[in-house]
A and B are shown apart, each in its own frame.
Chain A
Amino acid sequence: MSKTITIDGKAIPFTEGQTIMEAATAADVYIPHLCHHPGYTPHGSCKLCNVRVNGRICSACTFPAAEGQDIQNHSEELNADRRRITQMLFVEGNHLCPGCEKTGNCQLQAVAYHLNMLDNHFPHFYAKRNMDASHPDVLIDHNRCIFCTLCVRASREKDGKDVFAISGRGINKHLIVNAESGLLKDTDLEATDQAATICPTGAILIKRTGYTVPIGERVYDHREIDAVSLEEERGEHG
């Protein structure tokens, strides 16, 4: 007999070793997330997936599912906090969505829609962040990085390269690349690498592919992230 956890009152089966996120996704239950992607070592940094497990807040993407867990996911309280956490990401960087190439395809933006985020709530930091347009095919706009480390993990775990890393402490965190010059052009990143396409925001973009799909016809222009995410990730969690 398979074991079960309960999410928002619904019994969900899981297998030993699965995280709450994995069990939920397989059972068609969406838990908002940004730093998680199926098939990647869980990171647990964005905290959007925070759920209440038997009363305690835990990150669904890292916390193992276990028999007897009574989990709250879509409560008013949790979604309100997720909205605030998303707003924190928006004010920390410089996200000018209408002028961003990723708009409509951006998971950060889509999660914000999903959580009914109508403003940024917090005062902006207006951090001074640069662009790295040195690479012939790939662009980094540091203004939009949320330190999810998906590019870091993709490069290490999927591409076998180690192009990216997150450096620095606290609010001074920033993305760095593995080149003596510090520039993307001097790394061995290729546009076909997983690391170049995994970014959930518009921080890493492939050059010369902009606007091939017009704004208005993009993924999240028509569909909510919960549906898209479940459709894409359910299978991948296996």
Chain B
Amino acid sequence: MRQFIQRLAAKHDFRPTHLLEMLRAVQARYHHIPADAAELLAEVLRIPRTRIIDATEFYSFFSTDPKGRYELLISDSITDHMLGKQELMAYLAGKLGVAVGEVRSDGVVSLDNTSCTGMCDQGPAGLVNGYALTRLDRSRIDQIAELINGEISLEEWPAEFFQVEDNIRRPGLLLDSPIAPGEALKAALARGFKETLIEIDKSGLRGRGGAGFKTAMKWRFCAEEPQTERYVVCNADEGEPGTFKDRVLLNSFADQVFEGMTLCAAIIGAKQGFLYLRGEYLHLYDKLQAILAERRAAGLLGAGILGGAVDFDIEIRLGAGAYICGEESALIESLEGKSGIPRNRPPYPVTSGYLGRPTVVNNVETFFAASAIAVHGGDWFAASGTEKSQGSKILSISGDCARPGIYEYPFGTTVRTILDDCGASDVLGVQVGGPSGTFISDQEFDRKLAFEDLATGGSFIVFNGNRDILAIAHNFTHFFAHESCGFCTPCRVGTSLLRNQLDKITGGHGSAGDVVALEEICRLIKTNSHCGLGQTAANPVLTTLERYPELYQSRLKKISFEPGFDLDGALETARRMANRNDAAAHLQQTAAEHE
């Protein structure tokens, strides 16, 4: 092991910033992070062992206990549930002879849940040793179980198990006219970098990652920082359940995304860029590396790009299963090899980002759009969309519709149009922008896709009339409780309280005051949390409670007080010890008894 760790660390130049990559390698090799490995890593990297323990415990894809040689994780996103995940999971567990959350006694396979894998248009999905498995069904599971039991290596598994489709259903302004490699950089050089920034400003482009900050302004702020060592980061963490557009952009348009990053580097004066790729997209890693290599060979990356005008290169860094790492300052912490805890602001990343240096963090789609704007000009982009939301938006659509996949629309398009296009009928509501966004009911389909109305990072999850609103809120609330980084009190404790409180109501144990208590917890988390995760974690409950208060009320019991646990069940031990089981030794907890 010492040799392995030594070589691994040497490969990463003994840089603690690369701790995640090293832990990924250790996990892949030993299927856990052995205590010895942590000790050795601490020694060779000269960092406290506590940093390694912390990272191991923070990221979902690392574990201190041994996992199976085949680490199977099945996506727990609502879309997977809608596609029959739960029943398939039980089937899979039975086939493999392993319980969920356990390792089989022979150590061959372990099975567990994981948060959304970004395959919502082709679920139920999962991961095996980090590689995406799509379109799971019983016959596929039969085959997978056989392959695992035969201990067949992943390379020999049928390629179609790992096939990830783009499913581009409706290309628009950007997807219809991709640019050729180098085109944006040449255009920017010819026009001048300052002038190109003006074009981007004119285009009205706002960040596509959710918050909608004006891209040109972010780049200008960063360029104007006195500190000249600057960085460009492409946020490809895409952890929001229901969102997968960045996966498609990176699969089929990576050149244009990298070009957008290079353009940004040229404008702000950065020499180094990072693509922070979520761990779930490991299947894209080699392909993206190859594209980077091609770009270097073509003189579009590296030293002296465009005849010496720019020096810039891009490194790909993989995440390790933590939704919070999509938050830009948590992402930067993660890039530095630490656990993903959002920083205090100010300072913002444009002033003090990676290693304390000015850093631009943008979404994949933002860079993708920026390079098109460099070629076609600001007016071209601004001609689409609405007055306050220029251009087009790429959407990930999944759930109850005939054609889940990628759609691109000019801003201002109504929800109704989008639902018609994707083949959704009998729609109960749509989750717009993922769990952290808004649930809109069937009364709101005339609302428009736009920052001034329905702002979105790009996800639409469609629910039909057979779906249970509370089950949806339940799934999302559990997601946030699981993904809270735990740094601040209102989110760390609040999301768990919220989960428990919602469970109490959906479990039929709620009574009169419980919805009020639920609302109070929501408000506390929303107003007092440190970062966007906590500030939006209560949205699933708040937006559904606002629209369907009667659904919540209908789950309540009619008594005035209902304990959050089974009173009679709690007496079981006492009954056993007293050797009694007569009627008087039981407590009733039903509404009828109390009324």
Per the bound structure, the CA–CA distance linking A24 and B484 in Å amounts to 31
Q: In the complex, what residues of B have CB within 8 A of residue A169's CB?
A: 57-59, 322, 339, 484-486
Min C-beta distance of A214 to chain B, whole Å: 32
Residues of B within 8 A of A44 (CB): 344, 488, 530
Kindly state the separation between the CA atoms of A77 and B188 in the bound complex, as whole angstroms. Answer: 52
Interchain CA distance A45-B59 in the complex, whole Å: 20
Query: What are the interface flags for A158-195 relative to B under an 8 Å C-beta threshold, 1 for contact and 0 otherwise?
Result: 00001011111111110011101000000000000000
A81 to chain B, nearest CB (A): 6
Residues of A within 8 A of B346 (CB): 64
B496 located at the interface, meaning its Cβ lies under 8 Å from any Cβ of chain A in the complex: yes
**Does residue B487 face the partner (Cβ distance < 8 Å to A)?**
yes
Contact A173 B48 (CB under 8 A): no
| A139 interface contact, C-beta 8 A | no
Q: Give the docked Cα–Cα distance between A192 and B530 (Å).
A: 34
Determine the distance from Cα of A172 to Cα of B496 in the docked complex, in whole angstroms. 11
Residues of chain A within 8 A (CB-CB) of B322 are 169
Given A167-B53, A168-B54, A170-B482, decide whether A81 and B492 contact each other with a Cβ distance below 8 A: no
Residues of chain B contacted by A125 (CB below 8 angstroms): 496
B480-502 CB mask vs A (1 if < 8 Å, else 0) is: 01111111111011111100100
Q: Which of B50, B487, B500, B524 contacts A178 (CB 8 A)?
A: B50
- Inter-subunit contact B486/A173 (CB<8 Å): yes
Rounded to whole Å, the gap between the CB of A152 and the closest CB of chain B is 9
Q: Is the CB of B493 within 8 A of A171?
A: yes
List, in ascending order, chain A residues with CB within 8 A of B497's CB. Answer: 88, 91, 122-123
Judge whether A170 and B492 touch: CB under 8 Å.
yes
Q: In the complex, are the beta carbons of A85 and B524 less than 8 A apart? A: yes
B200-222 interface code vs A (CB 8 A; 1 in, 0 out): 00000000000000000000000
Contacts of A62 in B (CB 8 A): 344
How many residue pairs between the two chains, A and B, have CB atoms under 8 Å in the bound complex? 109
The CA-CA distance from A59 to B490 in the complex, in Å, is 12
A180: which of B49, B484, B527 is its contact (CB, 8 Å)?
A: B49
Give B54's nearest chain A residue, CB to CB: A167
Residue of A nearest to B324 (CB): A169
Q: Given the complex, which residues of A lie within 8 Å of B487, measured CB to CB?
A: 45
The yes or no answer to A50 lying at the interface (CB within 8 A) is yes
Known pairs A62-B344, A169-B485; A123 contacts B564 (CB<8 A): yes
Say if the beta carbon of A47 comes within 8 Å of chain B. yes
Report the minimal beta-carbon distance from A83 to chain B, rounded to whole angstroms: 10
* 21 intermolecular pairs with C-beta atoms under 8 Å apart: A44-B344, A44-B488, A44-B530, A45-B487, A45-B530, A81-B524, A81-B528, A85-B528, A91-B497, A123-B564, A146-B489, A147-B486, A167-B50, A168-B486, A169-B486, A170-B496, A171-B493, A171-B496, A177-B50, A178-B48, A178-B50
Chain A residues at the B interface, C-beta cutoff of 8 Å: 42, 44-48, 50, 57, 59, 62, 64, 81, 84-85, 88-89, 91-92, 122-123, 125, 146-147, 162, 164-173, 176-178, 180
